[in-house]
Structure 1
Amino acid sequence: MTKPVIHRVTRLDLAVRPWRWAFAEERRSEIDAHFAALRVKTPALWNGRILLGRNRQFDGGCFRADYFETDFASFLAWRDWGFPDKDVFNGFGMGALRSSDRLFVLGEMGANTANAGRIYFPAGMSDPCDIRDGKLDLAIGIAREVGEETGLASHLYRANPCWYCVVAGPLIAIIQLLDVDMKGEALRARIARTLAGQAAPEFSAIHLVRSRADFTPAIPVYVTAFIDHVAAMAV
């Protein structure tokens, strides 16, 4: 994967527009077969509607892009086949939970998910339900994912006004730093209790990360790049 480049911005302008994705239409039968094979291994996979991006642009303190709606099966095929359409990117929101003793809180994806074993911040595909007045509102989606995956309501953390857009080839992790007034071990224990009460939690375990010494190969490069960047900037 391309070495990540990080853009710190103060505004997102993510318009949602109808667009015909030729890849999804022209390879429909292959995509459907691929998704059917994935569901044999992971029956919980659901072919819902998601948003992908195009026409990305960093303009001063603003990140602009156009988003379009497609299905999850087409996204998985595009991802698994090496991102054949280079004009499209996956721009998704992540909530970087950080404890009062400056530990980052990451979750390990469970076996019932499409990214089983990967370790990263609460996140999710950009979702059509987060469209407001024709634009994608990532803050809404992040708050929802944090709540669903950790049980933390938005009043329990402070969201940094800046956004960190970590560009790694066809992936752009759009990360919001969320500070929690609770020490790392206590925060991990609280989230673990929430997971224990869920029938099918997305996270199977919670990990605390302070620095590079805590990195593992299961943590994606766009997450480690963000943690390094924040540490260097002493944000």
Structure 2
Amino acid sequence: MSFNLPPNMILPVDEIDVRLDPTPHPFERDNADAIAAGWKEYSAANPALFDGTMVLLSALTYDDGRLRGVSHAVRYSTFLHWRRHSDTPDAHHAFAHAMPVSGDGALVAIRMAPHTLNAGKVYFAAGSFEPEDFVDGQVDMHRNMAREVAEETGLDLDAAQAEQRHHLISTPGGVVIFRRYHFTETADVLAAGARAYIMADAHPEISEPVVIRDAAERPEGLMPYMPALIDWHFSNA
């Protein structure tokens, strides 16, 4: 088991080979009692949380644009326990960010709803990988990104032009794998569509779209890694 990604550096990714291992994750297996106790605490504080299934990495390596890894299906409660012990050597988290770019060059991010774990935080619509994001055991990045963006904002990534290359940044909270998707619509039009979608949802995961028009903009509540992504976008237009 290994993780060799340099921290806080944006790196290009041309090949992704992250596979789903059907065996239990050692971190979940070896910490069952602590995970159960932690879940009681989390769910008591926020009854809206759901102990669903997601994936957690047991290995992730980067070499000359190639990203390779092994992941396992775990419970959400296992991930929450990992967040408290993210320095463990045998487990790590990764998630994919589609970066919606409007026709007028802005970024369209989101602010999480008050009932969510990341209440008030601003980042791009995203969610952890789930077993359904793997096809024949191999992760499908676009499948995950498109599902999460559609579920949270109603925007259709298939209607946008995806850049060929992914990028990543490794942070203490997880590895962010991101890719720009270029829409023809202006930021105002995209934001209005997302806002209408949120208003029609009885239990929305986000409270509002957040438009970022230049590198100097720093909306309140930005996740720690977001300034690096914003700066990268506007310096690589």
Cα 1:184–1:130 change in 2 (3 A) is: same
SS in 1 for 2:92: strand
Distance 1:200 1:143 in 2: 20
Is residue 27–residue 90 contact of structure 2 (8 Å, CA) maintained in 1? no
Aligned to 1:69: 73
Is residue 13–residue 66 contact of structure 2 (8 Å, CA) maintained in 1? yes
- Matched residue pairs, number? 232
Aligned to 1:157: 160
Unaligned runs of 5+ in 1: none
Aligned to 1:59: 63
Is residue 18–residue 68 contact of structure 1 (8 Å, CA) maintained in 2? yes
Structure 1 residue 185: Cα displacement: 1.5
Distance 1:126 1:225 in 2: 22
TM-score normalised by structure 2 residue count: 0.91
Unaligned runs of 5+ in 2: 1-5
Is residue 7–residue 169 contact of structure 2 (8 Å, CA) maintained in 1? no
Counterparts of 1:182-201 in structure 2, within 5 Å, are 182-201=185-204
Q: Which moved more, 1:219-228 or 1:172-181?
A: 219-228
Distance 1:232 1:84 in 2: 32
Pairwise CA RMSD: 1.8
Within the candidate set 171, 176, 181, 2:179 is matched to 176
Within the candidate set 204, 220, 223, 2:207 is matched to 204
TM-score normalised by structure 1 residue count: 0.92
Aligned to 1:4: 8
Cα 1:139–1:77 change in 2 (3 A) is: same
Distance 1:146 1:20 in 2: 29
Identity %: 27
Is residue 101–residue 184 contact of structure 1 (8 Å, CA) maintained in 2? yes
Q: Which moved more, 1:96-105 or 1:31-40?
A: 31-40
SS in 2 for 1:213: coil
Aligned to 1:126: 129
Q: 1:26 aligned to 2:30?
A: yes
SS in 2 for 1:15: strand
Is residue 60–residue 70 contact of structure 2 (8 Å, CA) maintained in 1? yes
List structure 1 segments (4+ residues) > 4 angstroms apart after TM superposition.
Answer: none
Distance 1:61 1:228 in 2: 21
